Amino acid sequence: MTQGTKSRIDIKNVSKIYKTGSGTVEAVKNFTESVKDGEFVCVVGASGCGKTTLLWCLSGLHPSTLGTVEIDGEILNAPMPGKIGMVFQDSNLLPWRTLMENIELPFQIKKKPINHELVEELLEVAGLKGFENSYPGELSGGMKQRGSIVRALAQDPEVLLMDEPFGALDAFTREEMNLFLLKVWAKTKKTIVFVTHSISEAIFLGDRIWVMSPRPGRLARVVDVDFARPRHIDLQFEPDFISILKEIRTEVEGSKAGKGN
Ligand SMILES: Nc1ncnc2c1ncn2[C@@H]1O[C@H](COP(=O)(O)OP(=O)(O)OP(=O)(O)O)[C@@H](O)[C@H]1O
Ligand SMILES: [Mg+2]
């Protein structure tokens, strides 16, 4: 599997203000943090605290109102499709194209030759070999989501931005997907920023967790997760895991009630 080059992200005083009919919303305020090369950062926080907004600022698709985002020292002011990949809650596979045709689409759009070797390797790891000619409607939710991750990784991006990619899946499929993602990440060492509602998912996956508080969306806390890798799914039952979970939960609950603002 490709090793790809990794990328560092520096977020400097980023604020995002939306203008609405009824006024303005400070969705993200004065956010300053960095993601190291090959690091796996998870972002958690109450609904509406600005997680998705922050991710879009990192994508270059919806720029921040104030502040800058730098990818390897280069200021981000437009999307970098070869460098930054995105995966959303919905797999976004086109239903009228087969899985393989969906994976090939970004190559066709970019008029770039398909990296068959990498695609084959990713399909293998994703357990999707034999389903290349299936249509999305013939795949399970987990398979579709793995397909969309394969589609993003086939572009060999340096940074992978993920917004609740497993949010719609049942608990068991979600655990499988977590293990799949860690397996892929261990091989590729991409720089990942992963947004999730699930604090336990964040602790299981991440090297570090950014806890955000709402109104305005701010970075409330950074938690280092030092559990050894590879991580076993039973880690979530360990006392140390549960104590971090409780700590972050208290922080998120407190910020929801307005105590953190
Ligand atoms: N396009 C927009 N126009 C105006 N306000 C917006 C827009 N997008 C988001 N907001 C507001 O910005 C704030 C942050 O929204 P955002 O979607 O980033 O939150 P989130 O943390 O991703 O929430 P969730 O966990 O529910 O996905 C919210 O108050 C939301 O109403
Ligand atoms: Mg969101």
pLDDT per residue as tens digits for the range 66-115: 999 999 999 998 988 789 999 988 889 999 999 999 999 999 998 999 99
- Spatial distance between the Cα atoms of 57 and 63, rounded to a whole number of angstroms: 5
From the CA of 248, how far away is ligand 2's center (Å)?
A: 18
Question: How big is the CA angle at 255 (ends 252 and 257), to the nearest 5 degrees?
Answer: 115
- Spatial distance between the Cα atoms of 183 and 193, rounded to a whole number of angstroms: 16
CATH class of the structural domain 9-94+158-256 = alpha beta
Tokens of 111: 């008029």
Quick check: 131 and 143 in contact, CB under 8 A? yes
Q: Relative to the CA of 215, which ligand 1 atom is closest? A: 29
* Sequence ranges of the domains in the chain: 9-94+158-256
pLDDT per residue as tens digits for the range 207-243: 999 999 998 999 999 999 999 999 999 999 999 999 9
Residues with Cβ–ion distance below 5 A, ligand 2: 52
Q: pTM here?
A: 0.93
Atom 8 of ligand 1, residue of closest alpha carbon:
53
Tokens of 54: 């922050």
pLDDT per residue as tens digits for the range 171-216: 888 898 899 899 889 988 899 999 999 999 999 999 999 999 998 9
Report whether residue 52 contacts ligand 1, using a CB cutoff of 6 Å. Answer: yes
Averaged pLDDT, 135-144? 95
